[in-house]
Each structure stands twice: as C-alpha cells, then as structure tokens.
Structure 1
Amino acid sequence: MQKSMKNHMVRTLGAFAVALASAVALPSFSAHAEGIEARIIKNPNCGCCTMHGEYLREHGFDVTITNDENVYDMATMIGIPEDMQGCHLTMIDGYAVSGHVPVESILRMLEERPAITALTLPGMPMGSPGMGGAKEAPFEIYSLKNGKAEIYELR
C-alpha cells in the first residue's frame, strides 16, 4: 500500500513539474513571435478578423490584413475542408492558420514545426481571440495534412 501511495505521489509531483515548466516557458514563446509575419486574408465585411489581427499584433506578430471575398475558396485550395474552416485565413511562416486560433497554439506549431499544412479552429467560437463573449468549452484546434484533420490540442 505504501509503495502505491509513493508511486501516486511521484506521478502527481511529476505532473505538477511539467505544468510548472509549461507555465514558466510560456513567456519565452511570446519572444518568438517578435518579427514573425502574419498575413491575414479576410472578407472585407468581417470585423472579428481584424480583432484577431490586433490580438496577434499584441503578441508580437507583424500583421498585414488583406481583404478578399474569396477567402473560403482560398482555404479550400490550401486543403482546408469547408466544414473545418474559420472565418479568415492567416499565412504564417509556411503554414496556414484558419480562424481564431489562440496564439499559444500558433507558437507551439512554429516551435515544433510539424509536417502539417494548417491549423484550424472551425467556425467562430465565442470567447476565442477576437470574437468576444464567454468561452463555453475548450477550443478544439485541428491540424490538417493532406486534407485530413486531427485534433492538435484542446485549449
């Protein structure tokens, strides 16, 4: 019984150490955003896309915004299925980012450099960066490769 308790304690402390290391490492991620170009392509009538651009600027990205009524067609051409698209498309360092993806997810992708074409947060979930409102559930952020989506992370 004592060995089981000791193992439980070691696992708990290990999990705590990982969580603490992640929290401490987070500020270093924001330094990586300095000077990284983020080109947002959005529908001219969409205001929340502009707000997401401001959010990225606040985290150090060099943001340019282009209006284009064909943003959904562009996302489809990149390989983002219609049901997986967000309301705007951002091109960052060779990756496409669709929708209101949190900066932590984007920076993780840039740090890890996975063999994917895109990250997406489908739709326009309330509480996501640039959307406003209250977050109702964890955001399901997907990675896309060859048109196939899989959960990248819950945030």
Structure 2
Amino acid sequence: MRNPITTTWLAAILALGLFSSMPALAASSAITMVKNTGCVCCERWAAAMQKTGFDVTTQEQPDITAIKDKLGVPQALRSCHTATAGGYIFEGHVPPDLVAKVLKTHPKIAGLAVPGMPLKAPGMDAAGVTTPYQVIAFTKDGQTSVYAQR
C-alpha cells in the first residue's frame, strides 16, 4: 500500500519538473524559415518539421540571397530556403531528426545544409526515389564535412 502523502508529493515534484522545462522545450522547437515567394517544396518541408513537433514561422521574400549572404551560408551549399533555430542555420531540406539532434547536442558548427533539392529529402516527396544524399555540416569560416548520409 502506497502512502498517499508520498504519492502526492512525488506527483507535485514531477509536475514542477515538467512545467519548469516547458519553456526550454518550446524555445528549442521554434524555427524561422525564409523562403522564396510561392515555393511549394519549402511549405512541404515546414509541414514535415511541424509534424515532428517543431513550431515553424515562415517568411516569404521574392529573393532570399541577401539573407543567405548575411548568415554566411556557403555558396555551394545553398538551396531553396534557409531556416534558423537555436543559433544554428538549416539550409534546404535538412531532415527533422538531424535538426533536433543539432539543437540537442550543440555541435561546434554554424549549421547543416542539404545542397540543391534532392528528391528523397523531406519536403521533396518523390515516390520511389532511393538515391542517397548528404547532409553537410558547415562552420562560420566555411569549412564543410559530411554530417549524415540519407
């Protein structure tokens, strides 16, 4: 038989722990995506991110080159949209689980990129495509390395 007072205190402690961590969870799941006006695959990437628990704010502009320049996205890694979260840059169709991993582990990189628009990447949704693609990590000084192969 459990002691009701102990059970009540335990429940209260657990609830306080949960509620005190909620703002951190909300902050880490907030992403801002800037995309070219009318780009449908960007909207599908945002939907894939939202489906996995991210809160995506979308900004549309006729040309996002200046934003990529300002953030320091290497020219060779550029894609159709640029997202930021937790001080990191996510260029193109980066898979949601890798965004979450970066936000959780805080690697010493500027961000991740999926150059171009690979048909297998989240948001591109090409049925039956099995061609692998790479997710590239990049630093502020332009160094790159393969972060993941998908």
- What TM-score, normalized by structure 2, do the two folds share? 0.76
- 1: CA distance between counterparts of 2:132 and 2:103? 21
Residue 138 of structure 2 is aligned with which of 133, 144, 147? 144
Question: Which residues of 2 match residues 63-74 of structure 1 at below 5 A?
Answer: 63-74=56-67
- 1: CA distance between counterparts of 2:88 and 2:81? 14
CA RMSD of aligned residues (A): 1.6
Q: Which residue does 1:98 correspond to in 2?
A: 91
- 2: CA distance between counterparts of 1:119 and 1:131? 17
Shift of the alpha carbon at 1:70? Answer: 2.9
- 1: CA distance between counterparts of 2:144 and 2:62? 25
- 1: CA distance between counterparts of 2:92 and 2:65? 11
Identical pairs, percent:
29
User: Which ranges in structure 1 are unaligned for 5 or more consecutive residues?
Assistant: 1-32
User: Which ranges in structure 2 are unaligned for 5 or more consecutive residues?
Assistant: 1-23
Deviations 1:79-124 (A, max 9, x none): 2122211210011111010000111111111121011111000001
Aligned partner of residue 135 in structure 2, secondary structure = strand
- 2: CA distance between counterparts of 1:144 and 1:72? 18
Say how many residue pairs are matched.
Answer: 123
- What TM-score, normalized by structure 1, do the two folds share? 0.74
Rg: which structure is higher? 2
Regions of 4+ moved over 3 Å: none
- Answering whether residue 116 of structure 2 is matched by residue 129 of structure 1, we say no
- The aligned amino acid for 2:132 is P
